């Protein structure tokens, strides 16, 4: 995948990106919302090996560039039945709360529906991640389910999550109105 708009580029991760992914994934502040307040404790070599399994059909990890700087990552996983699961992290905190997430997600969603022919996009987020929920709902995602105290983070603390979905037909009608 390679999507460009103004100063934003979304592209496939390449092996040389493993170093920055390792830095981000081992940073507890970046990873805390995903249940890893101590980071993943992974290595560049492990990440390079994981990247070898990425394909357009199964799913990929993607890098987000803004003004030619790496600021975050995204991913998609084909779940079958024309359904795809996505994730996004803007890892550079100075680039958060500037509207970039909304623009980036819209670019990504359009490509998944139009280029990859998916009919439904699903995602989940921590119930405490109100900023992400606001962005998802602004784009048109519908809350499907709240999973209260359904998992524990690295520290053993119970966490809750919210499941979202976006159907292609709803997105197309929503974007015509917006």
Do 158 and 128 meet the contact criterion of CB atoms below 8 Å apart?
no
Calpha distance 135→172 (Å, rounded): 17
The chain-wide mean pLDDT, for the chain, equals 95
Domains in the chain, CATH or no CATH each: 2-177 (3.40.630.30)
Residue 165 pLDDT > 90 = yes
Residue 168 pLDDT > 70 = yes
Q: What confidence score (pLDDT) does residue 62 get?
A: 98
Name the strand (E) or helix (H) holding 46.
Answer: helix 44-51
DSSP letters spanning 77-132: EEEETTEEEEEEEE--GGGTTSSHHHHHHHHHHHHHHHTS--SEEEEEEETT-HHH
Q: What is the pTM of this model?
A: 0.94
The count of other CB atoms within 10 Å of the CB of residue 161 is 19
pLDDT digits (tens, 9 = 90+) for 113-161: 999 999 999 999 999 999 999 999 999 999 999 999 999 999 999 999 9
**How many degrees, rounded to 5, is the angle at CA 176 between CA 174 and CA 178?**
70
Q: What confidence score (pLDDT) does residue 176 get?
A: 56
Q: What confidence score (pLDDT) does residue 166 get?
A: 98
Residue 174: which pLDDT band, with cuts at 50, 70 and 90?
A: low
* Nearest in space to 5 (alpha carbons), one of 108, 138, 93, 86: 108
Residue 178 pLDDT > 60 = no
pLDDT digits (tens, 9 = 90+) for 45-67: 999 999 999 999 999 999 999 99
Compute φ and ψ for 169, nearest 5 degrees. -60, -40
């Amino acid at each position: 995948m390679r999507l460009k708009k103004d100063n934003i580029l979304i592209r496939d991760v390449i092996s040389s990106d493993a170093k920055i992914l390792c830095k981000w994934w081992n940073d507890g502040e970046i990873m805390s919302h995903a249940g890893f307040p101590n980071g993943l404790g992974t290595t560049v070599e492990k990440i390079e090996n994981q990247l070898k399994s990425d394909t357009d059909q199964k799913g990929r990890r993607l890098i987000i560039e803004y003004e030619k700087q790496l600021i975050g990552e995204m991913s998609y996983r084909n779940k079958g039945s024309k359904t795809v699961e996505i994730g996004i992290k803007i890892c550079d905190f100075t680039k958060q709360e500037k509207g970039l997430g909304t623009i980036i997600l819209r670019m990504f969603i359009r490509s998944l529906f139009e280029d990859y022919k998916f009919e439904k996009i699903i995602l989940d987020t921590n119930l405490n991640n109100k900023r992400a929920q606001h962005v998802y709902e602004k784009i048109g995602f519908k809350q499907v389910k709240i999973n209260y105290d359904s998992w524990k983070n690295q520290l053993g603390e119970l966490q809750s999550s919210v499941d979202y979905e976006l159907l292609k037909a709803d997105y197309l009608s929503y974007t015509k109105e917006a």
